[in-house]
A and B are shown apart, each in its own frame.
Chain A
C-alpha cells in the first residue's frame, strides 16, 4: 500500500495526467450507469401520498345525472356561437373565440351567481403578437375565510392547439355544480383562457402583480392559490385513459402528492387509468420505465411549458393538466367526477402541499425516484469537469510543462524521460493567469451575443441565423487559435502552460455551473454534462509532425463541431421533424413570456465551454 502511494508521489505524470483522466472518465461512466439503474425496482420507489390531509377518493362524487343535461345545454349554446363565428369569419377549421363567445361564457358564470372579471393581455415575441382576453369567475367559499383558493383552468385551445370546447363546457358545468356545495374551505376560481401558452401566464402574473405593462391587472382576486387543475377535452368521443401532464417551466415540477392524488383518484375511485409522458403502452418493463424517464428528462431539460399548468409552477403553485385520451367508455361526466374528487381533496388541505417531493423522476404513474437517488448521476458528470480542472491547476503549478523537447516525444517514450526532468526542475512554476482568465471570462460574456440575438430576432430569420451560427462556430475557434498561437498586439504568443490554465478555468466554471444546475434542473445539467464530456479529454496536441497534428486536430474539430449548440439543434430538429424556426420561436417565447432560462445555460455555459475546447484543439494546427 505504502509502496503504491510512494510510487504515485514519485510519478507526477501518473498523479496529474493519468489519474485525473481516469477519474473523470470513471465519473462519466458511473453517472450514466447510475441513471440507467434507476428504473430497477431496487432503486426506485412506489408512489405514496404523504400529505394526510388530502384523503384522496374518500368522498362520493355526485357530479352526474342531471348535470349532464346542463353540460349538453351549455355545449350547444357555445357551439352555436362558435359556428356562427366560423361562418362569418370564414376561418379555417379552428373557430375564433370571438367576443360573443366570451360574453356567453361570462353570462353563464353570472347566471350561476359567480363574480366575474376579465383581463386583456398582449405579448410580443420574435415579431409575433399574442393577445387575448381571460375570463374568470370566483366561487367564494360559503363558510371559508377567503384566504386560499384553488384554480380550475379551461383554455379554449389545448396544449396541442385543438379547440377545447368540451373542456370549457365542463368547467362551466362544474362551476354551476360547485356553487351549490357549501363545503368549500377555499375559494374556487374558474379561469377560461384563449390559449394554453400565454393566457394563464398573463393571469397568474397579474394575480401576483408581476405583470408587464402590456397585461392588464386583475380587478378581482382571491386568496393564496393552493393548486390548479387544467381541464382539456378537445374531442367528442368517449375516452379511456387520463394523460397527466405535470412538467413546469424550467423543469420545475408540482408536488408529487398532487400527481399521486390525481392518479389515485382516477384509478382507485373512478377506475380510469392514467398515463404520463405520452407513454400510451406502458408495460412496466425496464425499457418502458427508462423511456418514460428519458421523456420526462427531455421535457424538464428543455424547460418549456408543456401546458397551461406550467405557468403556475414559478409561483410555487402546484398544477397539473388532465388530458383525456384514447377511445373508451368514460365520458365527460367521469372526467367531471374526477375533477370534483380532486377538488375535494385539495379542499381538505390545511397548508400548501409540502409533504412530498418537488424533485423527482417518474417512470410509471405509480413509481418514481426522488432527488436523493438520482442526483448523484448528474453530480458525478458535473464533478468530472471539476476533477479535471483541479488536476490541471495542480499540474500547471507543479509540473514542468515547458520542456518542449521532452514534451515533443511520443507518449511511450515520455514516460521514461519525465521523472528525471521533474526531479531536476523541483516542480514549482509560476502561473501566468492574466491571459487565460481574460479569455475564459471574455468568451463567457461573448455568449450574451447569441443569447440576445436568438431572443430578439424576428421568427422568419431564425433558420438563417442558425446556419450562420454554425459557420461562425467553425471559423471562430480557428481564428482565436491562430491569434493565441501567434500573439496579438501587446500580447506575447501564448505559452503551453496557459493552454492548460485556459482549459482548467473553463472546466472549473463548467463544473461549478453544472453542479449548481443539477440541484435545480437535473435533466438539463445531465444533458449538457454529457454533451460537454469530450471537452474534458481534448487538449492541444503536441505531436511533432505537423501533418499528423493538423489532420488529427482537424478531424477532432469536425467531430466537436457536430456537438456544437447550433448543430445539435439542427440535428435534433432534423430527427424529430420539427422546423428550426418553430423551436426557436418557442424558445424566444419562453424567454419573453414564461421566463425560461434554458437559453442562458446553452449560450453562457455550454457554448463558451465548447468554444474553448475547440480553440485548444484548433491551436494545435498552428
Chain B
C-alpha cells in the first residue's frame, strides 16, 4: 500500500479518503509557534466532484489512490453503458452513467475525452472543453439579425440545449464551451 506523508502534499496529488479517491486542490501549512503543526487541505472527491476540507496532523501518512488520467476515444453507447478505447493499446473501457455525468450531453462518436481511471476502472469522463455539434432543432430566426441581443434555445445532435443567436439555423454547426454550456460561434464545414 503506497502512502504519502503530509510533507509530500501538493496540488494534484491523489489520496484515498474514506474509501474514495480525492485530488488535492490546495494545501496549507498551519502551526502555532509553540504547538502542533497541521496541514489544512482542500480536496476534490473524484467520484462525486464534491470539494471537501480535511485537516491532518503534520507528519501523518495517508493512503495514495491509484488514479490516472487517460485520453480515450468514445466509441458507442449500448443503452446502458458508454464504451471508450485507448488508441495506443486498443484496450476498451465500459463506463456507467454516474461516471459519464454531464459529459453525455456533449460527446459524440470518435471524440477524445479525458477519462479518470481508479484501479484501472473509469470513474469520471470529461468532455473536451470545446465541441462542434449540429443543430437539430430551433425556431426559425429573423433574416438579417446580427449576433447582438436576444437569442433562442437550440437542440444539438447530442440532445443538449444551448442558447444561440437568432440567425443560427437548423443544420448549421456551432462551437460550444462544455464547461459553461455556452454557444461560442458558428462553424462552417
Same complex: no
Query: Which positions in A face B, CB cutoff 8 Å?
Result: none
Query: Which positions in B face A, CB cutoff 8 Å?
Result: none
